[in-house]
């Protein structure tokens, strides 16, 4: 594993809890909006948060940036 891979993993792992909280808040906001719009009788469906996909997005984004700023991986 290169230094940049380690860095990207560390960054992704540390940001993941914040991203999950944001996604949960987005889902709750959407559900509240639907209740306000359609009333309590409407069945609200929510989707599961794919934590692995969220991690991969963070990891890949940061790998790209780290490789740009630290091309030698150092």
The model's pLDDT over 10-24, given as tens digits with 9 standing for 90+, comes to 999 999 999 999 998
Domain that holds residue 29: 3-69
Global pTM reads 0.77
Does 59 map to a domain?
A: yes
Does 74 map to a domain?
A: no
Q: What is the pLDDT of residue 51?
A: 95
Does 9 map to a domain?
A: yes
Does 24 map to a domain?
A: yes
Is the CB of residue 48 less than 8 Å from the CB of residue 9? no
Give the number of domains in the chain. 1
Q: Long-range CB contacts (< 8 A, 24+ apart) of 60-63?
A: 60/8, 62/7, 62/8, 62/11, 62/12, 63/4, 63/5, 63/8
Angle (deg, nearest 10), helices 3-38 and 51-69: 140
Does 41 map to a domain?
A: yes
């Amino acid at each position: 594993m290169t230094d940049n891979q380690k860095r990207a993993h560390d960054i992704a792992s540390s940001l993941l809890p914040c991203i999950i909280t944001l996604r949960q808040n987005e889902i709750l906001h959407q559900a509240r909006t639907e209740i306000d719009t359609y009333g309590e009788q409407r069945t609200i469906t929510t989707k599961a948060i794919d934590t692995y996909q969220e991690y991969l997005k963070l990891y890949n984004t940061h790998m790209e940036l780290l490789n740009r700023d630290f091309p030698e991986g150092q």
